[in-house]
Structure formats: C-alpha cells, structure tokens
Structure 1
Amino acid sequence: MDGERTTLHPPIRARAKGIGMVFQDFRLVPALSVLDNIALAVSTGGWRIRRRELREQILAVSAKYGLAVNPDAEVWQLDLGQRQRLEIVKVLLVPGTRVIIFDEPTSVLVPQEVESFLHMLDLLRKDGYGILLITHKINEVLACADQVTVLRSGQITYQASRSDGLDGDTLIQAMMGVRPLQTVTKQGSSEADEARTVMEVQAGVVKGNHGETVIESLALTLRAGEITGVAGISGSGQRELAEVMFGLRPLAAGRLEIKGKSVTGGPQAFMAAGVSFVSEDPLKESVIPGFTILEHMVLDGIPARLRGAGLDWRQIRSELTASEEARALALADPDRRADELSGGNVQRMVLARALIRRPDILVISYPSRGLDIGTTRTIQQQLITLAEQGTAILLFSEDLDELFKLSDRLVVLAGKRLVEGGRPADTTPPEIGHLMLRGESA
C-alpha cells in the first residue's frame, strides 16, 4: 500500500491501514441499538462513549450518502437492507478508512435499493474512497467498475479496465470457462384450478419474535407442480412466513393444512408430511459446526443406509457423488467440514440436499444468493424440473427477474398483508414493484 509491500494479516492490521469491509453476513448485535453497534466498531479503547457526538456523526454520514440510518433504532427491528446500510455507516465512521470491500452487497437488496446502492458507490468514489466490489452480477460490474478482475477456482482468468472496454459476454466466458452457460427453459404455467392443493393456510396471523404482528389475514394455497413466487421488500415478513410454512414458527391464529390434514407441530411434523426447507441464511441456520458435507446430507437429504448398528457411510458417499444434483451444483468434497465452506458452497450443499430428497413441498428462500451466473441458472432449471415432477414450491426472492422467470403465480408481501400478484404473463415487474412499495392493488 502507498507503494510499499505490506502484510494485512491479522484483520486489525488491515484496519490500521485504512481497510474496512461490509461482509455478506453482517457483524451486528441484534439486541443492541444502531448507535451501540457502531460504538463497538469505532471505539478507540477508552471507557467513555461520546454518545451525542457519535449520534451526530451517524446522522451526518447517513445524510451525505443517502443511507437513512436511525441511530436510535433497535437492530433486531431492521430489515436486511437497513442492516446493510448500518454496516456501511459503521465502516465509514472508523477513523482512517480509505478502502472499503463490499462482499456480494446487493444480494439482500430489491431492485429499487440496488439503484440507490450503486449511486452511493459513485459518491464514495468521488470522495476518494477505494472500492473493492465482490459480486457475481455482471450488470453491476458493467454499471460501476473502473477495473475488473475475474476469479475462477482461485485463479485470475481475466483482467480489464473500463478504458479497454468491458463486455458482458467476455466476463461470462471468463467466469464459466469451457463450461457452457445453461439456458433456463420453462413450460407454460400450469393451470392452478386443475392442480391438487397440497398446503393451505386460512385466516392466518403471523407474529414476530417480540410479539408484534407481521402478517395478518394470511391466505395462501400451494398446489402440486406449481411454483408460487413471493415478492416483497426485505423485512416485509418473508422470514416469518417461510418459518411458518416449515413449522419453525407457529401461527398465532388461523389454520394450516397439509394434504387436507391440520398440522400444528414443529419441523419434524412438517418433514414427515413431505416438506423440505432452505432458509434465507443457511450459513448460520443450516450448518452444524464440525459436521462434514456428507453428514449434513443425511439430515433431510439422502436416506440413511444402515450397516450393522451404524450408518453405511461408504454407500451414502457413493450415492451422493453419483447424484445428478451434486454434479450439477459442483458440490465440494463430501468429507470437508461444512463450517469451513464459503457462503456459496454452503448454499450449494443445502440446495443439493433439498433437491435430492425430492419433497412434496419445498419452501426455499433466495436460492441464487451469492452464486455465479452458471450455478444460478443450473439451480433455476432444477427447481423448474422439480416442479414439473410434482413438487409444490414456495419461492422467496427479492430478484424480480428470477421470480418472473420461475414462478407460475406471484404473491406480494407488503403492509402486513399477502396479496395476489397474478401470473407472470399477466403482469409486469413495475406492477409487482408497485405492490411491494404500496401494499395495495395497482
């Protein structure tokens, strides 16, 4: 740095050199306020926190870059987009910060928020900050990058600057190598009235972690072979609804039926009824520390094979490596510990596990988050194939393009309500975006 060879390990040394990072999985304490979280990051080791001064700094930086961060808010009440903006303010307020690394920053943002985020990057650049943007999204690279480096399997495969001319097809080729980019194809939407209802919620009320009403008057029907896409601005109740549909969160009121029978138990009862679940944060919620990929796959994935009094791990490993899902998703070595994997490889693991099981009902959140374009298209095609085989899929995504590409029917979470969005062929992304922002029929 500054023309001199330097070592940036451990992280405290990088921080001293002026390098900050906004992680894909946020470093926040939910039980504390925004101000207290920032105080933990900017503290210089003294016993006293100048709260009034820090509050003014938060408001000033927030206003300058259009971040709308409220220092008095409780972090547990913030949606993902708001938490990311908090992380950005936190980095900016660390004294001496001059380089900021963003790791997959738009994976938690809706399209309207992405535009604001890219504008903020431009403001930071004009103020002299160096920006390192880690992303799989080609359109973002083309929109804001001055220089581009493509990594594949730990190797640099391409480098270029804006003055050289940046081309999306060239970047995709550098990312994919000789592997052809799969085309996602979907047959016409199934006729909902003819499909069999496999899961239904009537007059549901969903409460948050602190007893607040998140969704009221919930009515939702899932049908065999149909992909129901759920759109909504982050924090509109997606997590809570997904947890209800897998028994992780009970309905505060109303009735939930699977295949015509009322189900009120926890995840075990839902799994027994044929439901699989991919959470929005598999790195924190789907990984058991110390367990290998292979051991994770036996949990709601590959059927356990017995050998004497124990499991036949050789047979289980053989079935996993031979599975189409593991090959298609380029699953890592089955004997690797899952807690040592990157976020993208954890995502591959939990998706492969869900697909291998071929459940009757799949509740899945943000399947393409943090994945390259090739793997994203593979997953999208596998979800379509799974639905064609009869699985009812409830798909949560903040990527409207993904929802329109995969869904047979759209619903929108906004204003504590779940409203019908229609079939993708009968509506447009701007109309769905209007429902997301307004919470009412267009």
Structure 2
Amino acid sequence: MIYNIFKVGWKMNHSRDTADFYLLRTEGLTKRFGSLVVNKDINLEVKQGSIHAILGENGAGKSTLMKMLYGVYAPDAGAIYMDGEAVSLHPPLKAKAKGIGMVFQDFRLIPAMTVLDNIALAMSSGGWRLRRKQLRDSILGISEKYGLSVDPDAHVWQLDLGQRQRLEIVKVLLIPGTRVIIFDEPTSVLVPQEVEAFLQMLGLLRQDGYGILLITHKINEVLACADQVSVLRSGQITYTASREDGLDGNVLIAAMMGAKTLKPVNKQTQDAARENPVVLQIERGTILGNHGETVLKDIQLTLRQGEITGVAGISGSGQRELAEVLFGLRHLTSGRLTVDGKELEGGTKAFMEAGVSFVSEDPLKESVIPGFTILEHMVLDGIPMKPKGAGIDWQHVRSLLEGSEEARALALAAADRRADQLSGGNVQRMVLSRALIRKPKILIISYPSRGLDIGTTRTIQQQLITLAERGTAVLLFSEDLDELFKLSDRLVVLSGKQLRGPYRPSETDASEIGSRMLKGELA
C-alpha cells in the first residue's frame, strides 16, 4: 500500500531528541469575546512523539483554545511558536500549511459525497491534483496502518458517528505535512468497544512522531495514554503534570472542579414485583431506514410511568430510527404505537401534545437554529410562551428560565448568548435544560452525557432520576453501560434488527448485556 504517497510536506526527524523538541508552544495566549475572557495567559507545549491531554469542564475554554491553534480564531494576546519561531496560524489554511490538523467534535463532512470525494475535497484546497486510484490506495493504506477501517466508496450518510470520525482522522493524516493533530473530545461519539481501538491508534501516531493534543474530560483515558496533562479551568491552566511526575485521577478531578464537590448519584431500587402504569407502547413494530432498508422488525417496547428504560446497543443498531419514531419524526411501517392507550400516527406536534419530549443524539446539528439566543431556543418545546401585544413577553420567559432549578443545576450559559456560538457541551446543557423544564410525561433522550465533564454528567443523571421519581417515563439511549446500569429500572438491547428484553439490571450484568449487544443472543 502507498498510504504515504501524499505526505511530502514534512517528515518526522527521529534523530532529534524528542524529549526536548517542541513542535508547538504557546506563551500567554489570550482570547476575548467582547467583555468575556474565554482564555487567559495560556502556556503549553506539544512535543514530537507525545500526547498532551487538556482536561476541563464544559465551558472551561478548551474548544476556543484549540480553535486558536487551528487558526479559526486569532488570539487577542500572546504568541504561538513552531520549531522555535513565532507563527501566525489564522486563518486555518495557514495552520494546515504549518502542519496542524484538527478532528472537530462536529465533523466537517458532506453527507451526499463519498468518503473518497470528501478527502479529495480537503486535499485539493492545497492545490493538489489527485488521481482517484492513487487516493483510494492511500486511504486504504493509512486505514490499514492505523486500524481506521474506512470504505473509500461509501457515502458519508451511510456512516455512523464512529465511522465518520475515522474518516476525519484519515483525512487529516493524508493532508500533506501534518505533524500536530488536535482531537476535540474524540471519544464522545464512540461506543466503549471503539474507545480502546482509538487509544491504540493514538499510540501508533505517537510512535510515528506526531504531536497529539487530546481535548477530553475523561480521566481514565488520560491516565491510559497521556504523556502530559494540563487542566483548564475558567479559561486558565491551573494544573500541569507529566507521566514522569505521576498522574493521579483524584488530583485531576480536584483540579478540574476547583472548590466544587462531586456529588454521588442516588437512585432507589424499585420493587421488581411492582408494575407501574404503561404510558407508551409499541406492538409488533417495523421501522425502515432512510433508503427503505429494514432497521428494526417486529419489536415490542413498553415504557412505564416513573421508570427509566435504558437502551443498549452497538452504534448504528437502530437507536436513531427508534428515537425518531417515538417523537413522530419517522413512522412505523407496520405495527402500532400508543400513548396512554391512544394510537398516535401524526407528526411531532401530536407527540408533543401527548407530552413527549425528545433530546436528539446530535443537538449541535439538530437542535440549534443559527442566530437564535438560548432564551429564544427555550420557547421551542420548553418554556410556554406568554403573548405580549403582537409578540412574546420575553421578560416573562427570562424570569421563568432564571428561576428554573434545572437550568441552575446544569449551569446554563447566559440567556442572551447565541446558541450557535456555544461549545458542544453548552449546547447539550441547553437542550437538556429545555426538555427538563417542560417536565414531560415521556422523555426520549439520546446520549445525555456525551461530551460532558464528570460533574455535569452526574448532575444530569440525578436530574433524570428526579424526573422519573416525579412520574416521567424516560427512555435513555447511551453507549455507556455503567450509566445504563446506574440509572435504569429496565434494560433493552438493540441487536440484529431486533429489540431484546426487558432485563432487570439487578438480575444481569454488563458482560451479559455486552454479549447480547455484540452477538445478538436471545435471553
């Protein structure tokens, strides 16, 4: 394979002492948006052949810092050095020319195009004229070398989130001269089985001399792979340590959270003999995908008042399609769906009127209206609107939002901030706050802790438990089996186009559920 056919712009210099060679270094890097100081006096470095992890809670300024290093934002103060010389990286074309690549949380892909065409588009911006056969061979070669299984001829719309991330990584590796790679919350879109493979890939990249910046909030992953860790809190680096110094998970959590304490999640075990009233039911349901393929067939699903039903499954097993059916975005091809015994066949309006709320798996793309503030988003299936003259009484909406215990608990950003300028974690807080404020009869929620720090994750988990205790039926999609076992009263598994279960968490374990996810075994 000729995976490296286009990698001509820069070659790793293994003769240098990698312990002392900085590919990238910053001094006093600062970024402001109006009066808001997002990053202040940031000093960090990325060594050749090393992984530098940046830890921090959501809103700590991690994504803004990375966007400065990738040239999306120009810093307001401070300097960036590469190979010992001060450089300007804004706009991103300059950063790419200097050898910096970035894998964003929100992938920069065109769904209607193939994998090969997306990569060709990214590379052609540098003036390359590419032959398709050579590029296909390069994609397959780089995929084989780093364990990134990607089909060059597949269309992006056919790929799940994990596959799209692999495509983004291959794209960055094939861009000529890449030597520093920034990963922004990379494992937030991966199922547990994919995380280990991702960490192994990072190890291979380190061996090949790349400098890695890993933006994350997951302590265990940092402990598993990082050579150096910096903790970002309130826009400033408050703690730095190296593997040689010794990395301690409890110390890192304390550095992330500052004076805040990490609250335990408290859930009472329900009486297995008690059967709460049924509020939603699917009987013998079949669901088709976007192109007429059968995604799920002959499924039975029952949601009960005051219970959390967890949904486990390998990514792409029908989670999205099932969630969309339960909010009227997609219809059953056959079978029956009822809420409180009444069959629902309309669109989302009928489901909303029946008391159903929905938090999608990709709120950045599916729940944000460009230009709208957080306050304006709150009246979309959240806070009820009160008319004022010919318009809306926005002061009334603001007072309800500011008085909301859900918004306070999730540390929602300022109501006047534009939602399309928020980090992924803050968008997640916004859509979760909106759903919880409504206090729905039924909540369909996908991957609520994806991309969120440990403190916010525990807050959300406790909010879901409290919501269920107040009578809401919750259907929880999650790739985290620990989360599912911690929160769920019942578990179901999507596998082999079927829905299996329910199972009681107290009567099974993660190994058994994982086996059903992977092998589709019947109980």
TM-score over 0.5 (shorter chain): yes
With the shorter chain as reference, the TM-score category is over 0.9
Q: What are the superposed Cα offsets for residues 240-299 of structure 1, whole Å, 9 maximum, x if unpaired? A: 110000001111111100000000011110000000000011111111111111111111
Distance 1:263 1:186 in 2: 32
Aligned residue among 327, 333, 343 for 1:246: 327
| 2:387 alignment partner in structure 1 | 306
Structure 1: 5+ residue runs without aligned partners? none
Quick one: structure 1 residues 406 and 16, their matched pair in 2 at CA, closer, same or farther if it must change by over 3 Å?
A: same
Aligned AA for 2:236?
Q
Q: CA deviation at 1:49?
A: 3.0
SS in 2 for 1:55: helix
| 2:194 alignment partner in structure 1 | 113
Aligned AA for 1:312?
D
Distance 1:102 1:421 in 2: 37
Check whether the contact 1:192–1:226 (CA below 8 A) recurs between aligned residues.
no
Q: CA deviation at 1:44?
A: 5.2
| 1:34 alignment partner in structure 2 | 115
| 1:335 alignment partner in structure 2 | 416
Q: CA deviation at 1:124?
A: 0.6
Is 1:125 the equivalent of 2:206?
A: yes
Quick one: structure 1 residues 51 and 407, their matched pair in 2 at CA, closer, same or farther if it must change by over 3 Å?
A: same
Moved more, 337-346 or 183-192: 183-192
| 2:357 alignment partner in structure 1 | 276
Is 1:207 the equivalent of 2:288?
A: yes
Distance 1:233 1:243 in 2: 18
Aligned AA for 2:120?
A
Moved more, 309-318 or 194-203: 309-318
Q: CA deviation at 1:308?
A: 3.4
| 1:370 alignment partner in structure 2 | 451
- Pairing of 1:57-76 with structure 2 (within 5 A): 57-76=138-157
| 1:194 alignment partner in structure 2 | 275
Aligned AA for 2:300?
A
SS in 2 for 1:256: strand
Distance 1:296 1:414 in 2: 35
Aligned AA for 2:217?
H
| 1:426 alignment partner in structure 2 | 507
- Pairing of 1:412-423 with structure 2 (within 5 A): 412-420=493-501, 422-423=503-504
Quick one: structure 1 residues 3 and 326, their matched pair in 2 at CA, closer, same or farther if it must change by over 3 Å?
A: same
Q: How many residues align?
A: 442
Distance 1:46 1:120 in 2: 29
Aligned residue among 159, 165, 169 for 1:88: 169
Distance 2:273 2:279 in 1: 12
Is 1:6 the equivalent of 2:57?
A: no
Distance 1:418 1:91 in 2: 37
Aligned residue among 105, 110, 114 for 1:24: 105
Distance 1:150 1:351 in 2: 26
Distance 1:35 1:129 in 2: 24
Q: CA deviation at 1:370?
A: 1.1
Higher strand share: 2
SS in 1 for 2:87: coil
Q: CA deviation at 1:309?
A: 3.4
Is 1:104 the equivalent of 2:181?
A: no
Q: What are the superposed Cα offsets for residues 140-176 of structure 1, whole Å, 9 maximum, x if unpaired? A: 1111010101112212121111111111111111111
SS in 1 for 2:283: strand
Q: What are the superposed Cα offsets for residues 150-204 of structure 1, whole Å, 9 maximum, x if unpaired? A: 1122121211111111111111111111111111010003547520000000111
| 2:132 alignment partner in structure 1 | 51
Is 1:294 the equivalent of 2:375?
A: yes
SS in 1 for 2:256: helix
| 2:490 alignment partner in structure 1 | 409
SS in 2 for 1:248: coil
Aligned residue among 292, 304, 315 for 1:223: 304
Distance 1:57 1:4 in 2: 32
Aligned AA for 1:439?
G
Q: What are the superposed Cα offsets for residues 38-72 of structure 1, whole Å, 9 maximum, x if unpaired? A: 11112256685311111111111111111111112
SS in 1 for 2:384: coil
Aligned AA for 2:193?
Q
SS in 2 for 1:363: strand
Moved more, 95-104 or 185-194: 185-194
Structure 2: 5+ residue runs without aligned partners? 1-81
Aligned residue among 193, 213, 231 for 1:150: 231
Quick one: structure 1 residues 190 and 292, their matched pair in 2 at CA, closer, same or farther if it must change by over 3 Å?
A: farther
Aligned AA for 1:224?
Q
Distance 2:126 2:397 in 1: 52
Distance 1:252 1:48 in 2: 46
Distance 1:175 1:36 in 2: 41
Distance 2:144 2:501 in 1: 36
SS in 1 for 2:112: coil
Aligned AA for 2:475?
L
Identity %: 75
Check whether the contact 1:293–1:334 (CA below 8 A) recurs between aligned residues.
yes
Aligned residue among 302, 322, 335 for 2:403: 322
